[in-house]
Amino acid sequence: MSNSLLQALSVQSTKRLGDPFDGYFKKGTKWTPRTDGLLDISNAKRWFEVIGWGSPNDLYTYQQALESKSGPRVRLGGQQFLMISSYDYLGLIGHPAIEAAAIEAIGEYGTSTGGVRLLVGTTDLHRQFERELAAYKGAEAAMTFSSGYMANLGIVSSLLGPDDRVIIDAKAHRSIVEACRLARVPMQRFHHNDPFSLQQKLASKPSGRRTLIVVEGVYSMDGDICPLPDIVELKKQHDAFLMAFGKFDIKSGKPSLIIE
C-alpha cells in the first residue's frame, strides 16, 4: 500500500471500530506465519499483513458486528455510524408490514426449511412469491435465489456449457467469472462499457457456438450506467443472448435481471 493511500485512509473520525479478531492483531505486534500449515500461501500472508496493519489502526471495516438492524444509521461498539455500504437500496429493512409478515410466517413455517429448495425446502410461500414477482414483471415465470452470487452461478452454469461462450464486460461482477469456470464455458472480456470492443469480440464468433453477453445495468463499484440500447442492438445483429444484471430499478417496474 502506498504512503499517500495510507495517509488518506488514516484521516479518520473519532469513532472506533470493533475488533472482529478479539485482539489477535494487536498494535505493534507482527504476525509471523507458521510455515507448515494450511495458511502457508501467499494470498493468506498478504491478507494477514493487511489486516495486521488495518485492524489495530481502526481501518478494517469487514465483519463489524452491528448492534442494531441495518438502516441509514447503525450502531456498533456503542456508537452511531452512517451506513453507506448496505444493499438495502429500497430501504425496506424494518418496514412494519414486512416485519409483521415475517413474524407471522415464522409462526406458521418455523425459522428454516428442512432442506434446499430443490429437495424439501420449497414452501407455498416461495411459489406465491415467485408467481407474484413474475406477474409484476410481466414475465412467464420467476425464480428467486438467496443471493446475487448464487443467481449468477446457478443461471450461467445451468444454461451454458463448454461448447458455448460468454462475453463479459471487463468490470462485470466476480461471480460471473466463477460461474463461467463452473460451467467450463470459454469466457472473453470486452472493454468496460465499450460497444465497439464488444462488437470486435462478437465478430470473432467461433462457428456453432451460442454466445451469451453479460453486462450490468449499473456497475455497483463505479456507478457507471451500461449503454444497454447499443448492447441490445449488437446482441440482435449477432444473434447472441444477453444477461443484464441490475438491482436498482425495481421501483420503475423494469426487469432487474434480463435474460433475452
Ligand X SMILES: Cc1ncc(COP(=O)(O)O)c(C=O)c1O
The residues of the shown chain that bind ligand X, judged by CB under 6 A, are 147-149, 152, 173, 175, 216, 220, 245
Question: Among residues 57 and 188, whose Cβ is nearest to ligand X?
Answer: 188
Question: Among residues 128 and 147, whose Cβ is nearest to ligand X?
Answer: 147
CB of 30 to ligand X, least distance (A): 33
CB of 245 to ligand X, least distance (A): 4
Task: Concatenate the DSSP letters of all residues of 56-107 into one string.
Answer: TTT---TT---SS--SSEEEETTEEEE--S---TT--TT-HHHHHHHHHHHH
CB of 82 to ligand X, least distance (A): 20
CB of 39 to ligand X, least distance (A): 25
For the chain, what's the residue count? 260
Question: Among residues 173 and 201, whose Cβ is nearest to ligand X?
Answer: 173
* d(C-alpha 223, C-alpha 180), whole Å: 24
> Can you tell me whether residue 165 is helix, strand or coil?
strand
Residue nearest to ligand X (CB): 148
Q: Is the dihedral of CA 137, 143, 144, 149 positive or negative?
A: negative
Question: Among residues 64 and 79, whose Cβ is nearest to ligand X?
Answer: 64
Question: Among residues 171 and 205, whose Cβ is nearest to ligand X?
Answer: 171
CB of 179 to ligand X, least distance (A): 10
Buried b (16+ CB within 10 A) or exposed e, 18-40: bbeeeeebeeeeeeeeeeeeeee
Q: Are 190 and 201 in contact (CB under 8 A)?
A: yes
CB of 222 to ligand X, least distance (A): 11
> Can you name the residues that pair with 212 across neighbouring β-strands?
166, 241
Question: Among residues 57 and 175, whose Cβ is nearest to ligand X?
Answer: 175
